[in-house]
Structure 1
Amino acid sequence: MSSSSPILLILFISTFMINISSSSPNFPDRYLKSLTNPPSSSTPTESIEVTKPPPPSNPINPNCSILVLQNYFNNTPTSPPFTTLYSPPANCTGPWNKIFLEYSVSSDDGEQDDRISGVWLNGVEILRTSTPQGNPSGIFWKVRKDVSRYSSLFTQSNLTLSVMLESESIDDWFTGFYQVNVSLFYYQDQDLNLTRISPVEFIEVEPLKLNRKFGELSEASVKGMYNAGAFTNETSPDLIIPVSDNGDDGCWFRIKNESDIHSKTIQIPQNTKKAVLEIYVSAHGNDEFWYSNVPNAYIESNHLSSQRGNGAFRQVIATVDGVTVGSVTPIPVIFSGGINPLFWDPVVAIGAFNLPTYDIDLTPFLGFLLDGKNHSFGLGVAYSKSVWLVNANLHIWLDHGSDIVTAQSSSYRAEPMQLQNQTQFQTLDGQFKIEGQRKTEYSGWVNSSAGNFTTRIYEEFKFQNEIKLSNNGQDKEVEQKIKVKTEIRIENDIGHEISKSIISRKYPLMIKISTLPGAEADTFVSTADVSHSTKEKYTRALSSNEQIQIESENSQESSGWMLVKDRLILSGSGSTSQTLTYKDLNGFYSRVVSAANGKILQDNSTVASVSPLSA
């Protein structure tokens, strides 16, 4: 997403620089809606992201809530984050079974480009989000996120809460500003099950094949379909250590190329029994549309000025003392200025308001981390161009029954990434295909006061990306598929398997764009179709034959056209339809939303609830 005005062409490379000819085949691109047309309504527009929601506003009164931060963000493109002190509410101390963060924003009728934003608590990132583009009548939106996994932080006092939001400098064009409120809602001993509190249609269904006793344990541990590690965490961590920057320019590391590795030195407690690295990541600048980047040979052969090269494969790499301990390929998140901004008004793209995080279980590596020494935790992005914003949180579970835990890493087998590239082009037309796969296995045992347990992790990763350019580079297609399957097995000291978890994730993406010259000088017409989705499934089985299964699918289809001059949309049309389905031990939830030309046309939700007596 851009950090600057396409009208002024003042671009900050440290954030989101894009400076490519509109006729360049290196697509997709960024555009800015025109607010010169009179608004169809004087009522501000609410922007939404369709996702499995936490409880709606005040479904059950929280035990307590606090407004942590309130601030106006304007003229802040190079300013440090806004900070304030956080302490838990004095009138309702924990423990809490749920904590929700609410990030609510409003902007007046002035223009602002879409922006990236982060929220940190003592350097630990707890939300990565972005802003929509403005509307003539003003806009507002709200992000509610379950932050219960950070509860050990929320019990502490006098912590620094930081919010980074680099709004454009106020001038003749960018006249808007953001009013941001950050609030926290605390719940104690309340049932916040979606299927029991949502104010939507209820129907009875056949019970799922789940054991209630195990279901209650798992319900407390499941924090969301995006967070793979959250599925395996039965309790919140005791300690969370940030792997992030010092915060002067935001706590995120700014990755500028494929050899740029940022790290932080950490000494973890010697009574650590479990460790999970949670990664926050977003792509900007020349890699905002990394899934559409062409090979460098194509750019050089056609003498293009574009810097959006290195092909269309990326992975965030996590290292400890220079040794790779895990990697993730992120979901392509399309910000509200991308491809056709009319698609994302008022329904933003998947993940745009609550960017997903990615967990890497480091428990099998505790054998060389529990030596009482400092270790360097590093982050980088393979094949990257400038700029990626990356940081991580190290979640640690302690053994409260002993001061020192013994551990040993048993095995680590990681196949080299097998990338196959097929490149064929003639002048501006061509076809580029990348296929990659890798299998990784690693294991290790931890001997704590609870016993000696071995964690075995198996991961299979598959990647496909194909780019087609035709009609002298004016017709473009991208098709990408990401598939990840992770299996986590826990064994006792005699090698008996006591639990097995399988997490399967698929992230398909398809984009088609055609560009034609406009009737007036220096204008062009772009038509586009976008289809993308997240499909995720989690199963867990215990040795006692108790089992849980969670499935989620979120699919979005967008289509439209726009007349563009100097990256400013003069006219156009855009429509988006989206279907979300979610099934867990309590039942089934679905939501169907469609929007066109800035208005919601349909928004229907249904809950199919499992009977408590039959579950």
Structure 2
Amino acid sequence: METRWPYTYYPAGAWEFANNIESSKIRRVQAMRSLYSFPLKNSKSVRFRTMITKRLGEPVDVEDSRPRAPPLAPSRTIKEYLDPTYPTPRPPPSAPSCVVPVLSYSFANTYGAPPATAAYAPPAGCPAPWSLVVLSFSAAIAGDQYDRVAAVWLDGAELLRTTTAEPTPDGIRWTVRKDVTRHSALLRSPPGGVLSVMLENLVNDQYTGVYNVSVSLEFHGVPAYLADAGSSSSAAGAVDSNPPTPTLPESYFQPADLILPISEATGNSIGFWFRIQNSSDSRSKLVSVPSSTYRAVLEVFVSPHSNDEFWYSNPPDIYIRENNLTTGRGNAAYREVVVSVDRHFAGSFVPFPVIYTGGINPLFWQPVAALGAFNLPTYDVELTPFLGLLVDGKAHEIALSVVDGITEWLVDANLHLWLDPASSSVSAALDRYRTPRLSITRRYNTRLLDGSFKIRAKRKSRFSGWVKSSFGNFTTEVETELKATSVVEFTHQGRNKTVRLQAEQETEITVRSSETRKEVSKVETEAKFPLWLEMVTEDGENGTYVMKANLTHSLSIETDAEAEGLFEREARLADEQAAAGWMLVRDHDVLNGSAATTQAYRYSDGAGRVERAIDTLDGAVLSDNVTESYSALDVAASTSTAACCRVRRCHGIVAAKCSDVAAM
């Protein structure tokens, strides 16, 4: 194992509650790494668990402190960490391209300091339109340090939310690549932009690691053969002095024309994210939406920290009070992020439980990061039905809050707006709205330090509103159903802990002709993310104890989209991880340990399929297999055919002439 011994660790979960451990604010960040996992209800989970059991077996006795799989010999080479997910799309063949380095900075003592900043201007050598834009965030560090949260903003609009890996003495490095083509409206803004990066770090005699970060942008233009084929529709970021009037469905799926940040106004000094401290803490911004807006989508960034980093494992406050515990990690195990427009509920979601690299058992995440840890998921909330409230030329409030949230949540958002190219104003109205109530039941049973806490939550909403623009009069209907079940159990006098979370959300967005009620486009999305965690704590000798953990968690998303006369598309994503391991701990030092992690990533759509399976043991990659297959599109005979190429990932609809999608 490449982790040096002893390894600093601050335990949490059952052991912490049973022993009433308290620590400083800085140490508590690490102490909150509780242990969790979820049942994956398919044959893959059985394979995962069987493989890990065979590989690790049972943890060694405390008296025999040697790891079952001994650490690897110290390496003097910097280790590459990775996030085995879908690679960023490839640009079309022969596309003009350029790489623009924007910022390089060493984050040492930056706790409480303003974000690092750099000037940004669109590249003169690669002007819009762009077929693809990729943000690259690279980091390197050596020494001892906690995991940290970081973000990248452009003029106050967030492009990336990420967390860092925990280093080794010899050093590690990693790169996050994110497709930001949908943010072309920001990226093509006139010179004078400011790119900001926030990463609060602390360096002293004990925590010596400095995060060396570089941020760059890769711009890929539209090759001539695609530009010719796509003359009837604009590519992402295109600026046409005499554009043809598009039909609603085609323009509806293009990237936005304008993006407004919903973020902290004083972000240049404290970071642009809002800091939510409790369930009544609603953070908002007043924005004026152009009167020509015919579509609006809110892209939400969110991450939990401090007492709520492991919200899905928190016990209720009654358990903490009855056992005279002093921990602040309570308020039970349900959280829901809520979006409102002028104090009208406009949408919500249960956030995906991202585990940071110091979480549960830090040995799990060497060198593979947990799902979403390097590129935290964002959440789109369709606000088009509410344009009747927004397009009057006045300032309106967009607000974010967290149901049952406690200290602290970092949230902000980007408001994506589509503007009518042929009219300076639209007319709109919200014609169906019913305030959806959260249905939630709680069943708590406690017996001293043992307890079982179960929560079931459900919310169903349906909104519709019409917008009359130069495209015609169209009604957008948004229907969402959210369900979540969480169970937290303590046994053996609070020393063992089991966590189960099952959350799912279905969203259907339908656009109809307001006059004929004919459906012109529909997008249906179903997301599920189960998690199961089991943590066992056993006493050892000489003040030591063994912590065993088993974890499974996954993310599954199914999307079906269709637009009459343009396309039909389905996409399937299944990303699963399972991990098992143990640590021998004295105080806050890990004396020995072993951990194995396996991940299976599968993505498919009409253009092809990508699968990746990776197995790790004690910091080493045992296997990493990638399988790719692609379909060929040949629409050369009809340059007016609109298609969604893999390179575009359906961020926009572009008339494509692709003879070999695999080459992209």
Q: What is the TM-score when the length of structure 2 is the normalising length?
A: 0.81
- The number of residue pairs the alignment matches comes to 567
Q: What corresponds to 1:374 in structure 2?
A: 395
Shift of 1:307: 1.1
1:609 aligns with 2:642: no
Distance 1:375 1:363 in 2: 14
In the alignment, which residue of structure 2 is the partner of 1:514? 536
Post-superposition offset of 1:317: 1.2
1:365-400 Cα offsets, whole Å, 9 max, x none, are: 001111111111111111011010000111111111
Contact residue 5 and residue 113 of structure 1 kept, 8 A: no
Match of 1:288 in 2: 309
Whichever residue aligns with residue 512 of structure 1, its letter is: E
Tell me how far apart the structure 1 counterparts of residues 370 and 30 of structure 2 sit (CA, whole Å).
Answer: 20
Identity of aligned residues (%): 40
Q: Return the letter of the residue paired with 2:86.
A: K
Structure 2 counterpart SS, 1:90: coil
Residues 497 and 182 of structure 1, relative CA distance in 2, 3 Å threshold: same
Corresponding residue of 1:146: 179
Q: Are residue 429 (structure 1) and residue 450 (structure 2) matched? A: yes
2:257 is aligned, of 238, 242, 248, to 238
- Per the TM alignment, residue 220 of structure 1 is displaced from its structure 2 partner at its CA by 7.9
Of 113-122 and 37-46, the range deviating more from structure 2: 37-46
- Secondary structure of the residue aligned to 2:104 is strand
Contact 1:540–1:548 under 8 Å retained in 2: yes
Q: 1-side partners of 2:633 and 2:31: how far apart?
A: 57
Distance 2:234 2:361 in 1: 41
Q: Tell me the equivalent position of 1:184.
A: 217
State the AA in 1 paired with 2:551.
V
Q: How does 1:587-602 map to 2 (within 5 A)?
A: 587-602=608-623
Q: In structure 1, what is the equivalent of residue 125 of structure 2?
A: 91
Q: Distance in 2 between matches of 1:53 and 1:512?
A: 32
Larger RCO, structures 1/2 (Cα 8 Å, 6+ apart): 2
- The amino acid across from 1:102 in the alignment is S
The 5 Å alignment of 1:200-599 reads 234-245=253-264, 246-247=266-267, 248-492=269-513, 493-521=515-543, 523-544=544-565, 546-599=567-620
Q: Per-residue deviation at 1:498?
A: 1.1
- Partner residue of 1:102? 136
CA–CA distance in structure 1, aligned partners of residues 73 and 428 of structure 2: 64
Offset at residue 93 of structure 1 (A): 1.0
CA–CA distance in 2 between the matches of 1:233 and 1:570? 57
Partners of 2:546 and 2:584 within 8 A in 1: yes
What is the alpha-carbon distance in structure 2 between the residues aligned to residue 135 and residue 61 of structure 1? 40
Structure 2 residue 85 is matched with structure 1 residue 51? yes
Verify: 1:11 aligned to 2:22, yes or no: no
TM-superposed CA distance for 1:147, in Å, is: 0.3
**RMSD, matched Cα:** 2.9
CA distance in 1, matches of 2:500, 2:167: 30
State how far apart, in whole Å, the 2-side matches of 1:282 and 1:300 are: 27
Q: Deviations over 1:535-574 (max 9, x none)?
A: 0000013345952110010000000001123333221011
CA contact (8 A) 1:278 1:357 kept: yes
1:122 is matched with which residue? 155
Which of residues 97, 111, 114 in structure 2 aligns to 1:77? 111
Check 1:611–1:19 CA distance in 2 against 1; reply closer, same or farther (3 A cut): closer
**Structure 1's 28 and 59: CA in aligned 2 closer, same or farther, altered over 3 A?**
farther
Gaps in structure 1 of 5+ consecutive residues:
30-36, 194-212, 222-230
CA contact (8 A) 1:414 1:439 kept: no
| 8 Å CA contact 1:539, 1:550 repeated in 2 | yes
Q: 1:72, 1:233 → 2: CA distance? A: 41
The answer to whether the 8 Å contact 2:236/2:255 transfers is no
* Cα gap change, 1:320 to 1:415, in 2 (>3 Å): closer
Q: Give the distance between the partners of 1:117 and 1:461, measured in 2 at CA.
A: 29
Q: Secondary structure at the match of 1:51?
A: coil
| 1:468 alignment partner AA | E
1:337 to 1:354, Cα distance in 2 relative to 1, 3 A: same
Q: What SS does the aligned partner of 2:407 have?
A: coil
Are the aligned partners of 1:62 and 1:185 in contact in 2 as well (CA < 8 Å)?
Answer: no
| Amino acid in structure 2 at the alignment position of 1:48 | L
Question: Residues 597 and 149 (structure 1 numbering): CA distance in 2 closer, same or farther, change over 3 Å?
Answer: same
Contact 2:126 2:221 in 1 (8 A): no
CA distance in structure 1 between the partners assigned to 2:571 and 2:450 by the alignment: 44
The answer to whether the Cα contact below 8 Å between 1:244 and 1:391 also exists between their aligned partners in 2 is yes
Q: CA deviation at 1:5?
A: 9.6
Tell me the TM-score normalised to structure 1 length. 0.87
Q: Flag the structure with larger Rg.
A: 2
Q: Say if 1:11 and 1:18, in contact at 8 Å, map to a contact too.
A: no
- In the alignment, the residues of structure 2 paired with residue 138 and residue 98 of structure 1 have an alpha-carbon distance, to the nearest angstrom, of 32
Gap regions ≥5 residues in structure 2 = 1-7, 12-21, 38-70, 238-249, 636-660
The answer to whether 1:163 aligns with 2:182 is no
